[in-house]
Structure 1
């Protein structure tokens, strides 16, 4: 709910070409405790005033020479910063009420004034307006929080990638079918593979790998288990031996479905 003090401190603009009407509304509002009331008898000033002050309520007379209330509302709609038109129209013409609501007014006050009705409609509309503004602020705060969190995640990801590059020879990702979807680092040159082999969805060639080690690694993957510093061996066509060390973890989606694996690897042949 909106506090009574916030309603009484709302910014109100009275627009009427009749000085007597302006004086009557100002006197009534001040007597009720509203402390932020201004007025103008020139309808051409309304748009500029609203852009500058962002009123919570505009009491707008419809029958004014030079620029009537309907034209004022059309002009107010050009203010892209305010999607909610806080207009309470004042009219002595019953036929204008529906037209005013269709033009964007939120409510109306009939002339001659019934002061009890005027006070009630003003208070009700201000309460709705301030609730709407609170919702706008909440949405802006959520957007700011999302932007901040997104920036933090990107920074964290950048740090993670940087650390993996420093601590390993390559970073890799596989989909749920075991096909490589991302590889960064010199692993292709180490294994003698072409880039297009991975782009076509192919995995690492089977020839030359230690079958016992391969079976052990595939068993861990089949059970969706992470593996740390797993060492496997490859014997090349010339009889030379290469040793590699990999660590990986499964990636899961929101519904706990397996998306694939990601991890790091390095060649440890010379280190061994």
Structure 2
């Protein structure tokens, strides 16, 4: 809800070519406690005044010489075609009410004025206007927050990829069915896999295989959806030398806790292992 103090601090503009109407409305609004009430008897000045002061509500007479209220609303809409038009029209012609609403006005007050009706309609219009402004500010803040979070996420992803590239020889991601969805580096070679003839299915690559018991243990961890850190396994090459790999991986889950796959990194530590030996 909008506080009464916020409504009384709103900025209002009275537009009427009859001085008596202007004085009556100014006195009514002053007596009701409104702090910022302006007026003009020149309809051609309204668009510029609104551009300068951004009124929360414009009380606009429809029948005026030089420029009627419909032309004034057209100018206001031309300046801000997608904006909320805070106009409450003043008219003695019942036939003008529907046309005024179609032209962009939000409500109307009939002449001669019923002072109780005038105060009630102004209050209702201001409450709607200030709620609309609050919604605009909220949406702007939401857009800024989303943009900031998106930028932070992209920066985080960039840092992660940079760190992964510096700290590993390859990176991999799998879906819940074990299919590779993202890879960088010689992932398939390290896993003794290659694409089959259909270009989709993974098949075992001929040649030296990784030590069976170690690979069996790694497969067990993955099947059990367990994380593994710095898991080391090896294979014996045709020349009798061993190639050592160190891998780390973690299972991934969605917000509902459903398993959606694995991701991990790996390093060829053959030279490091030989040096340590």
TM-score by length of 1: 0.88
Which residue of the partner structure matches residue 177 of structure 2?
177
Which residue of the partner structure matches residue 121 of structure 1?
121
Return the alpha-carbon distance in structure 2 between the equivalents of residues 266 and 110 of structure 1.
Answer: 81
CA deviations over 1:115-137 (Å, ceiling 9, x no partner): 12111111111111111211221
Which residue of the partner structure matches residue 154 of structure 2?
154
* Aligned-residue offset at 1:12: 0.7
* Aligned-residue offset at 1:181: 2.4
Flag structure 1 segments of 5+ consecutive residues without an equivalent: none
* Aligned-residue offset at 1:237: 4.4
Flag structure 2 segments of 5+ consecutive residues without an equivalent: none
* Aligned-residue offset at 1:149: 2.0
**SS of the residue 1:105 aligns to:** coil
Return the alpha-carbon distance in structure 2 between the equivalents of residues 51 and 253 of structure 1.
Answer: 49
**SS of the residue 1:250 aligns to:** strand
**SS of the residue 2:272 aligns to:** coil
Return the alpha-carbon distance in structure 1 between the equivalents of residues 118 and 141 of structure 2.
Answer: 34
Does residue 63 in structure 1 map to residue 80 in structure 2?
no
RMSD of Structure 2 on Structure 1 (CA): 2.6
**SS of the residue 2:234 aligns to:** strand
Return the alpha-carbon distance in structure 2 between the equivalents of residues 82 and 55 of structure 1.
Answer: 16
Inter-CA distance 179–103: structure 2 relative to 1 (3 Å threshold): same
**SS of the residue 1:270 aligns to:** helix
Stretch moving more, 99-108 or 77-86: 77-86
Return the alpha-carbon distance in structure 1 between the equivalents of residues 117 and 27 of structure 2.
Answer: 16
Q: Say whether the 8 Å CA contact 1:180–1:203 is kept in structure 2.
A: no
Aligned residues: 270
Inter-CA distance 46–204: structure 2 relative to 1 (3 Å threshold): farther
Return the alpha-carbon distance in structure 1 between the equivalents of residues 113 and 255 of structure 2.
Answer: 59
**SS of the residue 1:123 aligns to:** helix
**SS of the residue 2:78 aligns to:** coil
Q: Say whether the 8 Å CA contact 1:173–1:260 is kept in structure 2.
A: yes
TM-score by length of 2: 0.86
CA deviations over 1:59-117 (Å, ceiling 9, x no partner): 01111223221222233223448632111000000111122222221111111111121
* Aligned-residue offset at 1:49: 2.3
Stretch moving more, 28-37 or 107-116: 28-37
Q: Say whether the 8 Å CA contact 2:89–2:100 is kept in structure 1.
A: yes
Q: Say whether the 8 Å CA contact 1:180–1:201 is kept in structure 2.
A: no
Return the alpha-carbon distance in structure 1 between the equivalents of residues 203 and 53 of structure 2.
Answer: 66
Which residue of the partner structure matches residue 90 of structure 1?
90
Which residue of the partner structure matches residue 9 of structure 2?
9
Inter-CA distance 116–192: structure 2 relative to 1 (3 Å threshold): same
Inter-CA distance 174–204: structure 2 relative to 1 (3 Å threshold): farther
Which residue of the partner structure matches residue 253 of structure 1?
254
Stretch moving more, 4-13 or 166-175: 166-175
Which residue of the partner structure matches residue 100 of structure 1?
100
